[in-house]
Amino acid sequence: MADQSAATGRTITTDVCVVGAGPVGLLAALALGRQGWQVTLLERRPQPAPDANPKGPAVVNIVQPVTLHLLDRLGLLEQLSERAGVIPGAEIYFGGHLAAQYSYAELADCPVPHALSIRPFDLVRLLLSEVTDLPNVTVLWEADTEALVSGPDGGETLTVRTGEESLTVRARFVLAADGRESTVRELAGIPTEVMPAGGSYLDVVVPSPPDWDGAARAHFGAHGYLLETRRAEEGLVLVWITDADTAGKVVEGPVEGLVEMLSGVVPRLADWIAEHVTDWAQVRRVQHHFVRTKTWSQGNVVLIGDSAHGMHAFGGQGLNTSLQDAACLAEAVDSALRGDAAAGIESYEAVRRPFIEAFQSLQVSNTQQPPAPAAGEEERAPEFEVLALGQPRIRPLIADAARFLAADLDQHRR
C-alpha cells in the first residue's frame, strides 16, 4: 500500500513527480507506477474519505470509445461502467430537423461500442484505489508546490509544503496535471493565456423520461446549442450554450422562460421539462476558460490536460483529450526514463496541438454573440467519428499507448 501521509524525511528522490490527483494525474501516476517507476503524487487538497461524495449537482462527462479503450487496457472499464450511463449513439439536429444519426456499434474500428456518461469523482475514486495499491507510488495530500528548479543534469527539484513540513522532491520528470491555474506551469515560467469563454453555459438535470433510448442529441439553431444526454447511470442532462445576451434575457426572468426555450428546441420533451424544471435553484451556471500555452513541455517538466490546453465543455473533449494526454505522455516519459530519446513528448505536441487549438476555435464559434453568424449550422458541429475515435493523426499514438498500458511489467526494461 502506498504511503498516503506526509513523508518523514526532508528529501524525496523519485523517478517521476506528478502534481495533481485529478483523473489525469492519477492515470499518469498509475501508468508509470505499473511499470515499476518510483512515482510521487502531490495533491493540494485533503485526502477524500473513501465513501465521500461531492456536494451539489453531480458534474458528468461523456467519455468516448477511444478513451474508454485506454481505461479498458488498464482493466478498469468494467468497474467504471457500474455507475455510468451507456450512450449508444447520437443524433444531430439543425434548425429542428434531424440531419444525422450515428451508432457507435456501427462505426468502423470503434474499440468500444458505446460512450459512457460518468461522474468524474467516480473515475477519481477508481483510479485512486489502483494507485494506492502500488508500493512504489507515494501520495502526499495537502501538498503545496512552492518552488521549482531545473538541474544541470535535466532533473527537477521541487520545494513542497505539507502542513508544517517543508520537503524537497527531486524527480527526473515532473508532470503537471494541476489544472488551468497550474502552479507548476507558473513556476516553470511557461507563457500562458487563460481566457474566460464568452457566452453562457447552463445545465439542468431531470429524471430520465419513460422509454428514453439513451442517445445523445445535439440541437443547433438560432437559440445556440442544446445537448440532451445521460447523467451517469440515471437522469437526463439538458445543456444550453448560447451567447450572453440571449441567455441574459431568459435568466433575468422566471424559470418558465427557460422551460419555454428548452421546450421549443425539444418539443417531444416539453411536458416532461415543464413538470420537472420548476426552480432556478435546479439550474447550474458555469464559467468555462480556455488555456493556451507557448509550449507543453520545458526541460523535464511536462504539462498534461487543462494545464496545457483548457477547453470549454462544448463537444465534451476536455476530459477525453486530457486522459489521452496522460496515457500517451506516460509512455513517452517511460521511454525517456529507460534511456531512449525524449523526442516523443515534442512529437506528441506537434501532432496534438493543431487539433486542440482548432477545436478551441470551434468552441468559441458556438459561444460568441450571436452564435457563429458567418457559419452555417453544419460547420458548428464537431465530427462524430473524430469525437469517438480521436483525430486521425493521433490514433497511432493512442494505439501505442493502449499497448503500453496493457503490457506486463516483465516486458519492460525497468
Structure confidence by residue, pLDDT tens digits, 63-77: 999 999 999 999 999
- Say which range, 48-57, 192-201, 350-359, has the weakest mean pLDDT: 48-57
Which pLDDT does position 190 carry in this prediction?
Answer: 97
Q: Which residues of 389-409 are buried (b: 16+ CB within 10 A; e: fewer)?
A: bbbeebeebbeebbebbeeee
Ramachandran category for residue 353: left, alpha or beta (phi over 0 → left; psi -120 to 50 → alpha): alpha
Q: Compare 134 and 3 and report the one with higher pLDDT.
A: 134
Task: Could you list the beta-strand ranges (E) of 44-96.
Answer: 61-63, 85-87, 89-94
pLDDT in tens, 236-251: 999 998 888 889 999 9
Which pLDDT does position 360 carry in this prediction?
Answer: 84
In the chain, where the domains are located: 11-197+288-411
pLDDT in tens, 159-194: 999 988 899 999 999 999 999 999 999 999 999 998
Residue 232 has pLDDT above 90, yes or no: no
Q: The domain 11-197+288-411 is classified under which CATH number: 3.40.50.2300, 3.50.50.60, 3.20.20.70, 1.10.3720.10? A: 3.50.50.60
Residues 6+ apart with CB under 8 A from 46: 141, 142
Q: For a pLDDT cut of 90, what percent of the chain falls above it?
A: 70
Q: Is residue 271 within 8 Å of 255, Cβ to Cβ? A: no
Q: Compare 314 and 242 and report the one with higher pLDDT.
A: 242
| CA atoms of 237 and 355, how far apart (whole Å) | 27
Q: What is the mean pLDDT of residues 282-302?
A: 91
Which pLDDT does position 55 carry in this prediction?
Answer: 59
Q: Is residue 130 within 8 Å of 30, Cβ to Cβ? A: yes
pLDDT in tens, 346-380: 999 999 999 988 888 887 776 655 544 444 555 56
Q: For a pLDDT cut of 70, what percent of the chain falls above it?
A: 90
| CA atoms of 124 and 52, how far apart (whole Å) | 11
Q: What is each CA distance from 220 to 217, 225, 226, 314, 379, in whole angstroms?
A: 10, 5, 7, 12, 10
- Tell me which range, 116-120, 199-203, 382-386, is most confidently predicted by mean pLDDT: 116-120
| CA atoms of 72 and 78, how far apart (whole Å) | 8
Which pLDDT does position 366 carry in this prediction?
Answer: 65
Which pLDDT does position 389 carry in this prediction?
Answer: 95
Q: Compare 391 and 287 and report the one with higher pLDDT.
A: 391
**pLDDT tier, 312 (very low <50, low <70, confident <90, very high otherwise):** confident
| CA atoms of 202 and 195, how far apart (whole Å) | 19
| CA atoms of 269 and 277, how far apart (whole Å) | 12
Which pLDDT does position 269 carry in this prediction?
Answer: 95
Q: What is each CA distance from 7 to 4, 128, 132, 137, 308, in whole angstroms?
A: 9, 19, 15, 12, 29
pLDDT in tens, 80-114: 999 999 999 999 999 899 999 999 999 999 999 99
Mean pLDDT value across the chain: 89
Cell numbers 538541474 correspond to: 151
**pLDDT tier, 341 (very low <50, low <70, confident <90, very high otherwise):** low
Distance of CA 84 to the CA centre of its chain: 16
What count of residues does the chain have?
A: 414
Ramachandran category for residue 265: left, alpha or beta (phi over 0 → left; psi -120 to 50 → alpha): alpha
| CA atoms of 230 and 305, how far apart (whole Å) | 24
Residue 313 has pLDDT above 90, yes or no: no
Q: Compare 2 and 11 and report the one with higher pLDDT.
A: 11
Q: What is the mean pLDDT of residues 221-227?
A: 89
Question: What crossing angle do the helices spanning 318-337 and 343-365 adopt, rounded to 10°?
Answer: 170
Residues 6+ apart with CB under 8 A from 342: 300, 332, 333, 335, 336
Q: What is the mean pLDDT of residues 249-276?
A: 96
Joined grid coordinates for residue 308: 496545457
Residue 319 has pLDDT above 70, yes or no: yes
Which pLDDT does position 9 carry in this prediction?
Answer: 58
In the 8-state DSSP scheme, what is residue 83? T
Which pLDDT does position 359 carry in this prediction?
Answer: 84
